[in-house]
Structure 1
Amino acid sequence: MFRTPLSYFAVSSLIFFSLSTKAQTLSLKEAVNTALNNYGTIKAKDNYASASKSSIQQAKREYLPNFSLSAQQDYGTINGQNGPQYGFGGLGTASSGPALDQQNWNAAFGALYLANINWDFFTFGRVSARIKIANATYQRDKNDLEQEKFQQEIRVSAAYLNLLAAKRLTRSQQKNLDRAVIFKNTAVIRAKNGLIAGVDSSFANAEVSSARIALIKARDLEQEQANKLGVLMGLNAISYEVDTASITRIPTNLMSDTTIKSSHPVLRFYQNRIDVSNQQVNYYRRLYYPTFSLFGVTQTRGSGFSSGYLLNQSAYTTSYIDGVKPTRENYLIGIGVTWNLSSLLKNQPQVRAQSFISQGLKEEYQMADQQLRAQLLLAETKLKNALENYKEAPIQVKAASDAYLQKSTLYKNGLTTLVDLTQSLFTLNRAETDRDIAYTNVWQALLLKSAALGNYDIFINEF
């Protein structure tokens, strides 16, 4: 029972050692591959697809004839009686013997050996309809697996980008804290020398505390994003080293294509659901028709009662060997047709119900298609805005950095107030935060567009 958890713990420990101790960088492609191999939902749907594939063979073998062998050896009496009877619920015996004028308890061994074949050779396409249902079900489950993989790739990529952004924010908050400490030290020295009021040093200490709190919040956000990525990868929540420099550039391929294709993994899955339902409608309609069958039976019997037992009730043997030895054989071959006419009434509501299900699935397909188109329009707008912010972010950071440097120099020389310096520090921190978010938003918008178009390769090939 404990082998799997221990193995899982060992693997997780090794990954933690390789990522934390050796500080190896986890690339986006490695994160995606790990998630595809470990995520439980993907494993489950892979098994469902394998089960559906096996069901195809089972459906094909439904066309084979039924061939059964039977053998029984019995011991009992054969008192017969004239009169009708019905073995209701199987509560009856098949003893055959003469109807004598009184009961007797003569008993002997008997045997029955039987071979039977029954083949529904023509069913108006019911067998082929079941095969088509099995094939459609397999395609549905296989594409369900593919769309789950596609969505998992998108989820992992989004979590990876969020972790990248969180790490960049942590780094920016660390730089902000370093700047706050520097200007606090300057304020303390100047206050001790009597160059500024003591309240300035207290105000500087407050700014350092504020910067430290912001850094702690950034680290908390980073750990939260790392935990989300770990869950999607099927691993324990641990720290990850990621390539933060990979999102500081603009993607080379921004995808000018704006067409939602029917080959989209999600739309393929929805279409397969419709196909399965339509095949079920076709199968239910074929239940209206009769079944043509071929059958054949060969039977061998043995009995301890003699053929003259009617006239001589002592003409039987209790020998087991003589009783079970075959003495009579019969065979029968034929062709038959069965048609349950009430099925015309019974199956009609089922056909109608399944047709409604097909129509409902079509509506769900249209809704999914509409949502993807809306997502594509949103992604286009987000990508455009993100690119504009990407261009403005360096300008904002440069201006804020120059302003902070100027205010810092003026403050050291007693030419400006602490309030002005603090404001420039706040402006620089906000500019760096906006830059980090702007870099990430470009890639998030590209990922959103990739998800809407159903083309993940264009996004992942950028890494």
Structure 2
Amino acid sequence: MKFKFIAVFSLTLVCNSMSYAQVLTLKDALDRTVNQYDKIKAKQQLVSASTQNTAFQKQQYLPDVTFGAQQSFGTINAQNGPMYAYGGLGSAATSMPLAEQNWNAAFGSLYFANVNWNIFTFGKIKNQVELGIATEQKTLADLDQEIFQQQIKVSAAYLNLLASQRVKYVQERNWERAKVFFEMTDARAKSGLIPEVDAQLAKAEVSNAKSLQIKAYDKELEFSKHLAVLMNDNFKTFQLDSLYNTSVPLKAINQQTVDVAKHPYLQFQQREIDESVQQTELLKSNKRPNLSAFGVLQGRGSGFDWNYVQDNSAYSNNYLKGVGIDRGNYLLGLSFTWNVTQLFRFNTKVKEQNYRTQSLQYQFDAQQKELNVAFGQAQAQLQNAYNNFEETKVQVDAAALAYQQHTALYKNGLTNLVDYTQSLYSLNRAEIEYEIAQNNVWQALLLLAAAQGDIHVLVP
């Protein structure tokens, strides 16, 4: 028996420890959504992709180096006259023109190494690299603003869940009071001190209180699901931090103005503008010429001898004779190219991109003004939330005192059931208003954080 008691006691301690360890703080919830939410993971991959694109653009400074080898078998009949290779396809038969067609065939080979280096592009490659960097910065800012928006959503869901849990707690207390009231009324009705109908009405109040508790629990389950989805977690009933239902933020934000330009969403829009400006610079550089250095090293082999034109029997169809290197050539030079019609073509594209940049700038200005207005509104709402919370304290104290008085009066038969029930309703309503008002202070601080662009206002 003693062993069973120890086992049950130990199990209780373990369960209590596990329950305590499973308290979900708001900071933990924010960290989970950053690490687990799929949309954030997707944008993290886009950041990695843009980083690789920037590295690729930097590699454009390297020269093109091409190695090739070709081995073929065929005839080399040639003829004087012009030839145009449609679509760039053609056949090269290197021989002096022969008097008549023949079908002598031998192996041939070509080995080469080509180098082409754009040594001066008048800003093309530089602007491509700068555009890659601008795109990388934009995707990083997009990730930051996505994280911020997701954290705001999680914070709102967290506070909503906490409010629903507190309402459920109030309804549980109301149910307990209704049960005590029914037990008292039932005992007096059985003693013949009050009519039996009073006991039935008290029983109905117990049922109504229980129904309100069940409905409050439904709301808790709904907000638990919402929070779990935002954290990409399994559904469960979360045990939340008691800080947000036992206190309010002690220090209100007294700033009259704030630099909303640092807001993550505005930072993202600014990076879009920067990318568009850099795109304009790249388009401008396409109007400029290009200076390249090139070099070619070739080795050729052929199964046809040097005197094949004079002696058509001077060839061999031996593979090894045709695939060796008999002649070599090299070529070095500079190439300066400038498509002057690009000056006219890209003027239109530059104008188009300038219009896009202006559009993005107008969007940025509009959003900045909206955030400034939202910040002012959030400050006013936060002050109102403080004031309303103080008023609910008065309501709870007054309703609790009225309930105590009516309880004493009803026990002594000095008041009726209607007045007692009204005091019960008033206390229940006042307690709910108190919990909602306390939660609204944190909700107002969340609005301030959302407008200011700094979640640390809510979670230090």
TM-score when normalising by structure 1: 0.92
Whether 1:421 and 2:420 are equivalent positions in the alignment is yes
Contact 2:253 2:379 in 1 (8 A): no
For 1:460, what is the secondary structure of its paired residue?
coil
Name which of structure 1's ranges 29-38 and 256-265 shifts more when overlaid on structure 2. Answer: 256-265
Output aligned runs, 1:335-414, within 5 Å. 335-414=334-413
Output aligned runs, 1:313-324, within 5 Å. 313-324=312-323
Distance in 2 separating the partners of 1:212 and 1:177: 6
Contact 2:260 2:368 in 1 (8 A): no
Counterpart AA for 1:369: Q
1:152 counterpart (144, 147, 150): 150
Root-mean-square deviation (CA), in Å?
Answer: 1.8
1:50 counterpart (45, 48, 51): 48
Distance in 1 separating the partners of 2:101 and 2:35: 76
1:118-148 CA-to-partner distances (Å, cap 9, x unmatched) read: 1111111011101110111111111211222
Name which of structure 1's ranges 335-344 and 107-116 shifts more when overlaid on structure 2. Answer: 335-344
Counterpart AA for 1:291: N
Q: Give the deviation of 1:186 after TM superposition.
A: 2.2
Whether 1:104 and 2:99 are equivalent positions in the alignment is no
Q: Residue 209 of structure 2 aligns with which residue?
A: 211
1:33 counterpart (31, 46, 51): 31
1:333-363 CA-to-partner distances (Å, cap 9, x unmatched) read: 1111222223223323322222121111112
Q: Residue 434 of structure 1 aligns with which residue?
A: 433
Are the structure 2 counterparts of residues 343 and 411 from structure 1 closer, same or farther at C-alpha, using a change threshold of 3 Å?
Answer: same
Q: Give the deviation of 1:21 after TM superposition.
A: 5.7
Are the structure 2 counterparts of residues 22 and 438 from structure 1 closer, same or farther at C-alpha, using a change threshold of 3 Å?
Answer: closer
Contact 2:244 2:439 in 1 (8 A): no
Contact 2:244 2:442 in 1 (8 A): no
Name which of structure 1's ranges 153-162 and 382-391 shifts more when overlaid on structure 2. Answer: 153-162
Contact 1:125 1:286 in 2 (8 A): yes
For 2:262, what is the secondary structure of its paired residue?
coil
Counterpart AA for 1:186: M
Q: Residue 8 of structure 1 aligns with which residue?
A: none
Identity across matched positions, percent = 44
Output aligned runs, 1:39-438, within 5 Å. 39-257=37-255, 258-438=257-437
For 1:296, what is the secondary structure of its paired residue?
strand
Distance in 1 separating the partners of 2:366 and 2:455: 22
For 1:314, what is the secondary structure of its paired residue?
coil
Q: Residue 12 of structure 2 aligns with which residue?
A: none
Counterpart AA for 2:81: G
**Corresponding pairs, count:** 445
Distance in 2 separating the partners of 1:18 and 1:179: 27
Are the structure 2 counterparts of residues 160 and 231 from structure 1 closer, same or farther at C-alpha, using a change threshold of 3 Å?
Answer: same
Distance in 1 separating the partners of 2:121 and 2:17: 63
Runs of 4+ in 1 over 3 A off after TM superposition: 17-23
For 1:46, what is the secondary structure of its paired residue?
helix
Q: Give the deviation of 1:245 after TM superposition.
A: 4.3
Q: Residue 5 of structure 1 aligns with which residue?
A: none
Contact 1:60 1:131 in 2 (8 A): yes
TM-score when normalising by structure 2: 0.93
For 1:81, what is the secondary structure of its paired residue?
coil
Are the structure 2 counterparts of residues 21 and 458 from structure 1 closer, same or farther at C-alpha, using a change threshold of 3 Å?
Answer: closer
Counterpart AA for 1:416: T
Distance in 2 separating the partners of 1:212 and 1:356: 63
Counterpart AA for 1:115: A
